Chain A
C-alpha cells in the first residue's frame, strides 16, 4: 500500500518558484491499477517522481508498506526502489546493451550473479512476448517492443509496484492497447500494483480501477473509475472524460433527431434495437459516443424517415430507453 500525505513539491530556480504539486493525499491499495489523469503541466510527472523519491518532496510523506520514505537512509531508499519500478514515455533503455542486457541491469545492480540474471531475463522476455529478441539492441526494436523490454526490465526485481509515466504516449493506438493489456495481465497474474500517469482518458478507461484527476498541481477528484467516469464533478474531469459534440455534424436539409446520451441510459446497441422494434432503417449522420462502465455518453445524429407513424414509434422507443433527443433540421418550428 502506498499512502501519499500532504505531498507538495516546489521547484526553486533563483527567484522563481513553481509549485508543481500541492497537498496531494492519495491511498493506493495493493492490487490497484490506479490512474492519475491531468493535462500537460498539471504536475503528473512530478507526482510520480516524488513517489519513488527521484524527486524529494518539499513537504509531506510517502508511506510505502508502512515505511516513510522520507525517514530512511539513502541506501535503504535504493533498496526500496527495487520493489517500486518505473517505466517511461521514452522507454529509456540502455542503448549499448541488448534487450537481454537491459533486463539483466537491475539484477546486476542488486547483486544477482550473471548467469542467474540471464535466466531470469529470458523468463521475462517470454512474459512480454519477445523471447526471440534477446540479442537485439534498442535501436533495432519498435517503440512497442522497446516498451515491452522496459516492462520486463522493471519486473526483473519482482517489484510490488510499477510506476508508469505516460508509458503509452509515444505509441500508436494499437500498440498502446497491447501494452495496456500486458500491464493488466501483469497486474492480474503477478499481483503488481500499478500506478498509471496519463493525459489520455482511454488509458484509464482500458485498465484502471481507480482514478484521481489532477489539475493545477492539486487532486480535484478521485474514486473508482466507474464513479468518477459516470459522474465527473469537477470541470476538468468533465472536460477530460465526457465526449463533446465534436465530430457530430449540424443537421442540414434533413429532418433529424439528435440523441443525447448523458449518462442516464445504458450503453446498448440502441440503433439496431431501434431498427428492429420500429421496423425501419436508421441512417446515422454522425456520432460521438462512449461507453463508460456500461453507461452511454455523447451524441448521435440520425435522419428521420418521411413516415410520421415511424417517427412517432422511434420517439416512443427512445423514451422507453431513456435516451434524450431533440428534433433538428427541416420543418422544425
Chain B
C-alpha cells in the first residue's frame, strides 16, 4: 500500500542504497585500481614483469570473484561486525560489498589498462619516465575513457549486490523489496522498487557512457 509512510520509507531506502553503492564504489576503486595496476604492470608484457606477484594476486582475485556474493556476505558477518560494530544496516553491507567488488574492479581496471598501445608506453620509457610516472601520467590517463565505462559497469554490479544484501538485513531498496514484496505480497511495492532500481542503473550507465565519450580525445 503506497501511503505517505511508504513513500518516506522508499525515500530513505533510496538514500541508503545510494549511500551503500557510492561508498562501496569509492572503496572498491581505492583497492581495485592498485590491484588492476599491479596485475597489468607485473604481467609478461607489463612495465615491471613479475611472475610470482602476478600469479599470486591473480589467484586471490579469482578466488574472491568466484565466491557468490550472498555466501561471502554471510561468511563475513563476524569480520563485518569486528570492523563496523554491527551486522545489520547499510554500513555493515559496505564491508562485504567492497570485498566482493574490489577484485571485480581490479579485473576491469586491468583490462582497461591492457588496451593501451604498447608503443606509447615504450615512448614514455624512452623519455626516462619512472614506472610510477608511467602509471599515473600514461597508463591511467590514457585509459580514462575505458576506466569510466568500467566504472559504470561496476556500479551496476555493486547495486545488484546491495539489493541482495537487503534480504539479510542490509537495508536499502533490497530490504523494501524483501520485506514488502516477498513477505507481504505487496506486488505494487515490489514493482515500484524494481522500477526505482532500474532507473538508478540506467542513470549510472548513461552518465558513465556519456562522460567516457566526452572525455575520449580519440573520438574527435
Interface of A with B (CB < 8 Å)?
52, 54, 77-82, 85-86, 88, 90, 92-98, 105-106, 108-110, 137-140, 150, 153-154, 157, 163
Smallest CB-CB A-B distances: 9 pairs = A81-B128, A92-B123, A86-B126, A92-B119, A78-B128, A137-B217, A106-B127, A82-B128, A96-B217
Say whether chain A's binding surface is mostly helix, strand, loop, or mixed: mixed
Q: Is A109 touching B120 in the complex (CB atoms < 8 A)?
A: no
For the complex formed, measure the closest distance between the CB of B117 and the CB atoms of chain A, giving whole angstroms: 7
How many of chain B's residues touch chain A, expressed as a range?
Answer: 20 to 34
Say whether chain B's binding surface is mostly helix, strand, loop, or mixed: helix
Q: A92-B120, A96-B141, A96-B144 are in contact. Are A139 and B217 (CB under 8 A)?
A: yes
Total A-B pairs, Cβ < 8 A: 82
Complex partner residue of A94 from B122, B128, B141, B216, CB under 8 angstroms = B141
Q: Is A78 touching B129 in the complex (CB atoms < 8 A)?
A: yes
Stretch binding the partner chain, chosen from B26-34, B73-81, B130-138, B182-190: B130-138
Selected A-B contacts with CB under 8 Å, 14 pairs: A54-B126, A81-B125, A85-B126, A88-B119, A92-B117, A93-B120, A94-B120, A95-B117, A95-B120, A108-B137, A109-B130, A140-B220, A154-B127, A157-B127
Inter-chain CA distance A154–B127, complex, in Å, is 8
Q: Is B142 touching A95 in the complex (CB atoms < 8 A)?
A: yes
Inter-chain CA distance A140–B216, complex, in Å, is 13
Q: A54-B122, A96-B142, A109-B133 are in contact. Are A139 and B220 (CB under 8 A)?
A: yes
Interface of B with A (CB < 8 Å)?
117, 119-120, 122-130, 133, 137-138, 141-142, 144-145, 215-220
Q: Is A105 touching B137 in the complex (CB atoms < 8 A)?
A: yes
Inter-chain CA distance A133–B127, complex, in Å, is 22
Residue of B123, B124, B129, B217 with highest tally of chain A CB at under 10 A: B123
Q: Is B120 touching A106 in the complex (CB atoms < 8 A)?
A: no
* A-chain residues with CB within 8 Å of residue B128 when the two chains form the complex: 77-82, 106, 109-110, 157
Q: Nearest CB to that of A136 among chain B residues? A: B220
